[in-house]
Structures are given as C-alpha cells and as structure tokens.
Amino acid sequence: DATYDATVPTTLEEVWGGVQVCRRCELYREGTQGVAGEGPKTAKLMFVGEQPGDQEDLAGKPFVGPAGKVLDRALDEAGVPRGETFVTNAVKHFRHELRGKRRLHKTPDAGHVEACRWWLDAERAIVRPRVIVALGGTAVLSVFGKPMAIGKFRQQAIQLPDQAQGVVTYHPSYLLRVPDAEVKAKAFALFVDDLKFAWKLAA
Ligand code: URA
C-alpha cells in the first residue's frame, strides 16, 4: 500500500510488519506470509539468499529448510556462528507453482527482485553490515544490480556504494543439486572457503 511505502522502515520490526502487508509486487498472493531477515541488528555479516522456499514460507523464517541445512553445515565447518550473522533473502515471498499438492519453487524474475529491493535496502540500512554475501544468481542481481559470474568473482571483496563489501558465492541449493558426489564435495569445500573468507573480511 502506497501510504505504508512512503515511510522507510527504521527498525527490523517495521521491516517485518511491512513485508506482511507489502503489495509492491503480486507475490504476496502466493505466499503464506512474508519472510523478512533474521539476526541481530549488530551483525557484521549479512547473507542474502534468493527467496523463501516451501518450509521458510510456512515457518516465516529464512533458510530453515533443506538449503538452510546445507548453509548450517557449511557455517559450522567454516566456524561462523549463524546467530551472529543476519540472514535474509532478495525476495521476501515464496514464488512457486502448484503441482498436485506440491509447491514447486519458481525463480523470481527481475521485476520481483527490483520490487523487493526496497526491503533489502531497508535491512541493509538498519543493520549496516561490513560484508554482504550474495548466495547465488538472484542475490547477486539484487545486491550488485547486475549478473556476475560466481566462479570468476568468488573470493573477492567488491566495494558496494553503501560502504559494505560485497562477496559472491554459490547458493546452497545448487550444492544440493550437483549429481556427482565428488564434484559436490568439492563445491561444498569451496562454499566453506567462501564463508571463511567473508567472516574474516567482516571481522
Ligand atoms: N533458499 C533461499 O534462497 N532462501 C531461503 O530462505 C531458503 C531457501
């Protein structure tokens, strides 16, 4: 609603409330609820994923489903305490299509990312993290405003206009989908390296 939108949220509670009534794009019709970011306002490191999945949509929290389990395992291995980081998504509602009873993930398009950047920008302005990690292509598009090849730009600190350093890495769901076990293990190890890199950069 345009009246609400006129006021930039200044607390994480306002972001949460605003996301619940957001009409900036049509995805509010698809989701059970909006899923705002989670973590302390003082976090030095922010993770940005794509959008809530099936379980996140039901729980109202980011990265609690299968991708979240991968993220947790990698954070553990990297020695990064998730509770000291801020975890959010580029898009706050679950875009999906129904296949029988199953809700199948559908990648949000550039318009959804654009519309929802309002909320990510608000979270960035409130938390003011030193480092923002974009997990996968949709997050890269949201955070950097353009697509970037993850394999080429990972392990680099990329200056963002709001003082934060940007880091790009793979999306945990990608790691779940790699069919070959050996390739999968290697990709996971690179992901862990990227989390370590970002954590050190934020220290
Ligand atoms: N995938 C994402 O990008 N974000 C979530 O919160 C869950 C799965």
- With a cut of 0.90, is the ipTM above it? yes
The 10s digit of each residue's pLDDT in 14-50 is 999 999 999 999 999 999 999 999 999 999 999 999 9
Burial class (CB in 10 A: 0-12, 13-18, 19+), 4: middle
CB of 158 closer than 8 Å to CB of 143: no
Residue 154's CATH number: 3.40.470.10
User: Whole domain around residue 65: which residue ranges?
Assistant: 2-202
Quote the CA–CA distance of 112 and 114 in Å, as a whole number: 5
Instruction: State the Cα angle at 98 between 136 and 145, rounded to 5°.
Output: 25
The 10s digit of each residue's pLDDT in 146-171 is 999 999 999 999 999 989 999 999 99
The 10s digit of each residue's pLDDT in 93-106 is 999 999 999 999 99
Answer yes or no: is the C-beta of 172 below 6 A from any ligand 1 atom: no
Answer yes or no: is the C-beta of 50 below 6 A from any ligand 1 atom: yes
135 C-alpha to ligand 1 centroid (Å): 9
pLDDT computed for residue 7 by the predictor: 84
Answer yes or no: is the C-beta of 38 below 6 A from any ligand 1 atom: no
Domains: count for the chain? 1
Answer yes or no: is the C-beta of 63 below 6 A from any ligand 1 atom: yes
The size of the chain, in residues, is 203
For the CA of 35, the closest atom of ligand 1 is 6
